[in-house]
Amino acid sequence: MDSHFYSNKSGLNHFLFGQAASIQRNDLYFILFVSVLLLTLLKIFNRALKLQAFDSTQFELIGWSKKTTNLCFDSALTLTVIIGIQAVGVVLMSALVITPAIFGRLLSNRFENIVRIAIVINVLSVCLGTYISLKLENPSGPWIILILSIVTFLTMIISKKTTKASS
């Protein structure tokens, strides 16, 4: 009966919440390597990914390979999640992918601008969140997400008001 109470799940907590403090020099090199790889991949496939997202019919008409583009996008996403697990954990990694994009979408209608805004807000909130979590000795992931989401919610309220006023 005892084994059902104290089942072996000690490693899981790290995996779920992440522990930015436990990242070591080797991990840092790995993350750097993967980031450079991802940026190059995105640069090469930039046009294909955009065209597929906005006009998939045209994409197929000019004969670009759907399979290669999908493979590229999926593997890039997987790699991003893998390097994010150590810092913020599985559950909150999805926020780090989704929320800045929503924020950018609220502020701009151009794809390039959305990407730029998303990068800036993500970097800012990661810095601020990590700083606060170190001060309060809390897990880092939740603070990052909290800051990111609160900023997004505020923007959302403002944009809701302005759209109502204009319509």
| Residue 108 touching other proteins (CB under 8 A) | no
- Cβ closer to other proteins: 43 or 164? 164
| Residue 3 touching other proteins (CB under 8 A) | yes
- Cβ closer to other proteins: 44 or 91? 91
| Residue 36 touching other proteins (CB under 8 A) | no
- Cβ closer to other proteins: 33 or 111? 111
Report how far residue 33's alpha carbon sits from residue 28's, in angstroms, rounded to the nearest whole number.
9
| Residue 5 touching other proteins (CB under 8 A) | yes
**Site string (74-103) toward other proteins, x via CB under 8 A:** -----------------xx-xx-xxx-xx-
